[in-house]
Amino acid sequence: MTQTPPVDEVRIAEAVRVLEAGGLVAMPTETVYGLAADADNESAVLSTYAAKGRPADHPLIVHVAGIDAISHWAEDVPPEAWLLAKKYWPGPLTLVLKKKARCGLWVTGGQDTVALRCPSHPWAHALISAFSGPTWRGLTAPSANTFGRISPSCAAHIAEDLGVKPEGKLDMILDGGSCEFGIESTMINLSQGRPTLLRHGVVTREMLEETLGFAVPDAGKDAPRASGRLKSHYAPRTKLELVSAEALPARFAEMGAAPVAVMASGEVLDRLEGTPVLAIKAPADLHGYGRDLYENLHRLDRAGAERILVELPPQSPDWAAVNDRLGRAAA
């Protein structure tokens, strides 16, 4: 279980002042920590791209305080969007919609769509609600890490990577404890007629289909660009391999004297001949695996290994989000 400290209203008020001045604040969400900036402030948003080393055509998600913000950021909103927002907001679901003129191209990567999400983490919700105001201001908040690397699921990951000024790149880190889910939000495209799935997450395809009453296929090549869809993403610096439970002991043996870090079930770890530089017993349950995934990848990456071996998780539909992140980390 994750422990979320009580919301510190003094820190929230300080973060609002930083954001209104065009600064950058790392904030916790229920998925991963985000690098927040005022979505209406072009220079502030562009500074998040610079801090992360993120390509300028890679769109950002606007984090908003509630369902009433949708009409302030999007137009031609289909009934499915309202249905999903009422069901899953606040929560780990991002809706991609046709953008209003208010939403700058610096947010959308030059596209005519905007991604919207209302996070449920109490610190994020408090910050966005305090910042929103009568015009329903929002915060862009890509994961608070160097682009393409492992996402941060606690404040320590950000301090180690981007850091705080003057030595680092950020103005402030809000420490709201470890993230509840540990994997980025599900993303559904509602801008091109029939809804399609852009990114797997905690809100599964089955849940979306049950809510909407029809099939939700994966998005095709003509879908809007979206966060987390590059072939290589969420990647440790150490080369990572996904190996089946049956093949992992032999693959470990093939590495010989080379230092290897391993994450696998207890049964597989017990079959290894030799000692990894780090052995992590993978959680057997889906929620625990997802919650701890990025923390475990950070630990494996810091172990001083030449190679990381990860046991391939179950290939059932409910594990799609975990398998998506691991597949990109290994690409």
For 123-147, the pLDDT digits (tens) are: 999 999 999 999 999 999 999 999 9
pLDDT value for 231 = 63
pLDDT at 262: 98
- pLDDT for residue 56: 83
Average pLDDT, the chain: 95
Task: Give how far the C-alpha of residue 272 lies from the chain's centroid of Cα atoms, to the nearest Å.
Answer: 33
Q: Is 90 exceeded by the pLDDT of residue 93? A: yes
- 199 carries a ligand binding annotation: yes
d(Cα 30, Cα 181) in Å, to the nearest integer? 6
Has 58 been labeled as part of a binding site? no
Q: Write down the pLDDT at residue 233.
A: 75
H-state helical runs in 54-204: 70-73, 79-88, 105-108, 122-132, 155-161
Go through 72-99 and write b for each residue having 16 or more CB atoms within 10 A of its CB, e for each that does not: bbbeebbebbeebbeebbbbbbbbbbbb
Task: Establish whether 94 is an annotated binding residue.
Answer: no
> Does residue 116 surpass a pLDDT of 80?
yes
Radius of gyration of the chain (CA): 20
Q: Kindly report, residue by residue over 298-327, the tens digit of the pLDDT.
A: 999 999 999 999 999 999 999 999 999 999
Tokens (6 digits) for 134: 């009568």
Residues of the chain with CATH 3.40.50.11030: 240-330
Say how far apart CA 125 and CA 102 lie, in whole Å. 22
Over 80: is that where the pLDDT of 41 sits? yes
Is 146 labelled as part of a ligand binding site?
no
Mean pLDDT of 41-52: 96
The residues of the chain that CATH labels 3.90.870.10 are 9-212
Contacts of residue 155, Cβ cutoff 8 Å, sequence gap at least 6 = 26, 28, 33, 173, 174, 175, 176
227 assigned ligand-binding residue: no
Residue 265 labelled as part of a binding site: no
- Provide the CATH topology of domain 9-212: DHBP synthase (3.90.870)
Q: What is the dihedral of CA 102, 87, 133, 177, to 10 degrees?
A: -110
Question: Which range is least confidently modeled, 32-36, 57-61, 138-142?
Answer: 57-61
What is the share, in percent, of the chain residues with pLDDT greater than 70? 98
Could you report the per-residue pLDDT of 1-24, keeping only the tens digit for each?
568 999 999 999 999 999 999 999
CATH of the domain spanning 240-330: 3.40.50.11030
Residue 109 has pLDDT above 70, yes or no: yes
Question: Is residue 143 annotated as involved in ligand binding?
Answer: yes
Q: Known binder of ligand: residue 117?
A: yes
**CA 237 to CA 328: how far, in whole Å?**
13
Angle at 244 between CA 243 and CA 248, to 5 degrees: 65
- Total-model pTM: 0.94
Residue 113 marked ligand-binding: yes
